[in-house]
Structure 1
């Protein structure tokens, strides 16, 4: 149960880091119901991270972390992944699941080149699932369909990825 709580905490931490990055980088100038896209030339270049290894006390239990991913918040995602790996006792047991609404080759290449040892999978989120369901907001970041992907996790993530039982927390 303790490891389940720890993996839940890590997952929530990663969402908070990405959410804070989103709220600090957006303006409240207008409402957008489409996906905000940066030109591919704006995708930052990152250095390769070292290989992070498990400590002596690690078992075989996988820790699954789900995050959204797009070019707008790539810097925050990279910071979250690096922080999680750096501060984990068992980084090799972590498996990242990234949700994106459209394939962006530069973003995928950035993840692969920065974290060549990272165990991750990518899943497509169809933004049409939430179209017409998002109420207008004063914050642009809240109007983005990818923010609502977590509602559909059970439909997107494979069933062999076990969820934590948080009822006892």
Structure 2
């Protein structure tokens, strides 16, 4: 209960101190498709308290919190998502987008980590379709993250003609991520032959995504084809390795 009280106290504190834009910012935006809006996408998980920490950290460190619009991807069966978010964050600008698990159920096999099998995780593949077409760039955050800087800086990161900006780890053993049968297959082993640079391991807990280019190149279909082939969740490495911009995670 002490933790619950602490969360409620911080929400009320943020409502008083951080809900308003800095004095040097223009009038808060009413247009949800404005280029000055920072779009943040998150999964609406059952663990609301972990999402609270992420959302509070975004708002607390932002100079223009009234220009942030959250997009929660929610399981289609969770009709209470909007009520939950409004009750927990009465000051928040957000929209709920249902993702129906029937789209992906049956297409994936059980993985080593059961959490990865949660079908809502696959909604990240369909953000370009679920979110309004006027949104060009979105920042995706896992619900268990805490930001310590202004999210506007992250949203303004240059993608340098790439689709994704993600934390990149080139010292990791990239080859070990895939099975021996993958590398022994003459067709699959050529997957990274056309990469612009050395393929590196990366994680998708934080992503800056060029949704406009994603839609133009139909990356949702490309990822879906890999899911159909290998029966594993979100093979972003197979589609994007060697073709990403790195987020500084130092």
TM class, shorter-length:
0.5 to 0.7
For 1:87, the equivalent position in structure 2 comes to: 61
C-alpha distance in 2, partners of 1:167/1:126?
A: 33
Deviation of 1:138 after TM superposition, in Å, equals 1.8
Which structure has greater strand proportion?
Answer: 2
Using the size of structure 2 for normalisation, the TM-score is: 0.45
Q: Which runs of 5+ in 1 are unaligned?
A: 1-43
Larger radius of gyration: 2
- Pairing partner for 1:162 from 126, 136, 142: 136
| Paired residues of 1:63 and 1:94 also in contact (CA < 8 A) | yes
Deviation of 1:104 after TM superposition, in Å, equals 4.4
For 1:58, the equivalent position in structure 2 comes to: 25
Higher relative contact order (CA 8 A, sep 6+): 1
The question of 1:67 aligning with 2:32 is answered: no
C-alpha distance in 2, partners of 1:90/1:55?
A: 6
Deviation of 1:84 after TM superposition, in Å, equals 0.4
C-alpha distance in 2, partners of 1:78/1:109?
A: 15
CA RMSD in angstroms comes to 2.2
Which structure has greater helix proportion?
Answer: 1
C-alpha distance in 1, partners of 2:40/2:65?
A: 11
C-alpha distance in 1, partners of 2:106/2:160?
A: 32
C-alpha distance in 2, partners of 1:81/1:90?
A: 14
C-alpha distance in 2, partners of 1:124/1:97?
A: 10
C-alpha distance in 1, partners of 2:84/2:124?
A: 23
Moved >6 Å (runs of 4+): none
The question of 1:149 aligning with 2:123 is answered: yes
| Paired residues of 1:70 and 1:104 also in contact (CA < 8 A) | no
For 2:78, the equivalent position in structure 1 comes to: 103
| Paired residues of 2:82 and 2:96 also in contact (CA < 8 A) | no
Using the size of structure 1 for normalisation, the TM-score is: 0.65
| Paired residues of 1:100 and 1:146 also in contact (CA < 8 A) | yes
- Point out the more displaced range, 54-63 or 115-124: 54-63
C-alpha distance in 2, partners of 1:131/1:113?
A: 31
C-alpha distance in 2, partners of 1:77/1:58?
A: 27
The question of 1:128 aligning with 2:102 is answered: yes
